[in-house]
Amino acid sequence: MSISQLKKIATAALFGAGLFAAQASLALSSIAPIANCKYVVNNSWGSGATASIEITNIRSTVISGWSVNWNYVNNRVTSSWNAAVTGSNPYTATNVSWNANIQPGQTISFGVQVNGNGAIEAPVVYGSICTNSYGTSSVSSSSYLSSSVPSSRSSSSSLLSSSIRSVSSSSTSACSGVQQCNWYGTNYPLCETTQSGWGYENNRSCISRATCTSQPSPFGITGGACVQSSASISSLSSSSIRSSISSSRSSSSSSLSCPQGNSWPDCPYTTWSDAYCAQVGPSLCPRSSSSTSSRSSSSVSSSGVTSVELTKRMGIGWNIGNSLDAIGGETNWGNPLITQQLINSVKAAGFKTIRLPVAWSKFSNEQNFVIQSAWMDRVEQVVNYALNADMYVVMNIHWDGGWMQPTYAQQNYVNNRLTIMWTQIATRFSNYDDRLLFAGTNEVMVDGDYGTPTPEYYTVQNSFNQTFVNAVRATGGKNATRHLVVQGFNTNIDHTVNFAVVPTDTVSNRLMMEVHYYDPYNFTLNTSSNITQWGSIATNPSVTETWANESYTDAQFQKMKVNFVDKGIGVILGEYGVVSRTNVADHETYRNYWNEYITKSAYTRGLVPVYWDNGFGGNGGMALFDRASGAQLYPNLIQAIVKADD
């Protein structure tokens, strides 16, 4: 739901970051600068924008509590998440309880939405923890991208830079004294234990010393002194983004024709040389020898079944929310690392399907969208946890910073980026069986506009679905027939029925439609509401909504059955649920009843209900399981949900 901004926070702060008091244990006014602080505009739509403020610990000790400041010329904050934001320009943000500690090398982030009142700004972030020398701000949205390109880059640099329209540039220096790896112009942490290749340590991607030093000059290990670099705020054309894939990875791409041996990425990869394919790897060149995978599951495949037949096997599902979809890293929103033990507990409770929301962009190149192999490895590891438990997996590109804006102005940019990213993801998983489903997007809408979509909005959003299907099918292998999940506008049932266009596909009966359900909002998600009862069992009309009751629910899911299931398109109810309100007497009774009714109503009409779990089990949370141990937090609620599949 977008209401998706609200679900990100695993606490009652979903509806106002200021609900948490800061738990800072440092005397912030007395400490030396220990972090890089950066303001990044993720999306702008003329009258407003969303942005992230990133704080990276550059020292060898844990930051225990933090506070940062910033101010605008004309922009003003209208909402925030993942921090307690106070003030009215300048603004101050302090940690909430679960992101107070920042490990060495770790980056945490929090978000704001602003009214523009003119041009969208990217102010300097300052504060006692922020390095005085590191005050860069960047724009990383559908209109602007941040880049860091060394001036001494070889011929590949000239090709990339020629396709960039530079808007402005600034000079920055990081004087942390911590060694890093300058990987073809982008700095990454050096691994402490991984001896070769890429690693994943301390909840972050890293590069081994051996791999870092294998690069040509001027790239390699840097640090121990101030490192000067230039940052450009740039706007890329749709075609130049694609071309940057090879130009940023290879110094040999100079010809724009397509003879055998040339590596220009707008040519089919079948025309690329063997040497270049080996260099870029299987994520970009599927015929690379390294792309041969042994990842295919040994379990019985669902090959040959239609999407509607497959939904009957998928039973009831559960979301691993606020983990791999957390912006900045798996633990950035307060949940521990996903484990096999957790997945086994979910399976043992009676769930058959895992929905795996994933944010990819933080671990990909800002210019060419090439995804880091270490992050791909971690996502694959979690996918395998679920397959090891013999569960179905629905893996997506989730909110991911909100770059999928469905406007004509952003249509080419988003479709190009979707193609690049899904080509890599699909290629990595091309040998997996039909228990792995791909879902292209999540809750696409124009930021801040919750009304009925205009023809422009839903037309562009439908094009995203088609692009996703085309990109996956083009990778071949088992992806040629894999079950794919597309969404209606903002996953709203009425908008889906009225405006969704099922994509054209190269294979029959392998597409599914996804919607979400959180009605009535005042009962399900609004912790400030006095609506605390629901349905026919309610005893107090004054705390019960007059709409979105049982008959309304049945009618909504019947629409999906008639318009999709009965026409051969399987349906995923990808999210639903009610926040806990432990401070309200008897609320749990109505919460259990709502979840039981919605699950059963959807399931009996052929939908796959997938409960949204955000990992937080306290007041305002939606967790069913303890993410660390796998223990059931609400056994009665779990039973109310899974018994629909009995």
Pairing state between β 317-319 and 607-611: parallel
Q: Residue 49 domain-assigned?
A: yes
Q: Has residue 505 been placed in a domain?
A: yes
Annotation says 192 is catalytic: no
Q: For residue 3, is it within any domain?
A: yes
Q: What are the tens digits of pLDDT across the range 148-159?
A: 223 333 333 332
Per-chain mean pLDDT for the chain:
79
Buried b (16+ CB within 10 A) or exposed e, 31-62: eebbbbbbbbbbbbbeebbbbbbbbbbbbeee
d(CA 149, CA 366): 12
Its domain, for residue 20, covers 1-143
Annotated catalytic residue within 330, 514, 575, 596: 575
Asked if the peptide bond before residue 520 counts as cis, ω within 30 degrees of 0, the response is yes
Amino acid type, 91: Y
**Is position 206 within any domain?**
no
Q: Is residue 120 part of a domain?
A: yes
pLDDT tens by residue, 278-324:
554 554 444 433 333 333 333 334 568 999 999 999 999 999 999 99
Question: Which three-class secondary structure string do you get for 217-234?
Answer: CCCEEECCCCEEEEEEEE
CATH of the domain at 111: 2.60.40.290
Domain limit, last residue, from 92, 126, 143: 143
Catalytic residue from among 443, 514, 545, 596: 443
Q: Which of 122, 143, 164 is the last residue of a domain?
A: 143
Residue where a domain terminates, one of 143, 163, 194: 143
User: Which stretches in the chain have pLDDT values below 50?
Assistant: 1-2, 5, 9-31, 132-176, 225-272, 276, 280, 283-301
Asked if residue 289 belongs to a domain, the reply is no
Contacts 24+ apart (CB under 8 A), 16-22: 17/80, 17/81, 17/82, 17/83, 17/84, 17/85, 17/96, 17/110, 18/84, 18/85, 18/86, 19/84, 20/84, 20/96, 20/97, 21/84, 22/65, 22/67, 22/84, 22/94, 22/95, 22/96, 22/100
- The reported pLDDT for the residue numbered 6 is 52
The count of structural domains within the chain is 2
Q: 0.75 exceeded by the pTM?
A: no
260 vs 275: CA distance, rounded Å: 12
Distance (Å) of CA 394 to CA 435, 465, 472, 534, 625? 8, 16, 14, 30, 19
380 is catalytic: no
| CATH at 447 | 3.20.20.80
Residue 174 CA to residue 133 CA, distance in Å, equals 6
Query: Is 64 within the bounds of a domain?
Result: yes
Tell me, yes or no, whether 262 lies in a domain: no
Question: What's the pLDDT at 11?
Answer: 36
According to the model, what pLDDT value does residue 116 have?
87
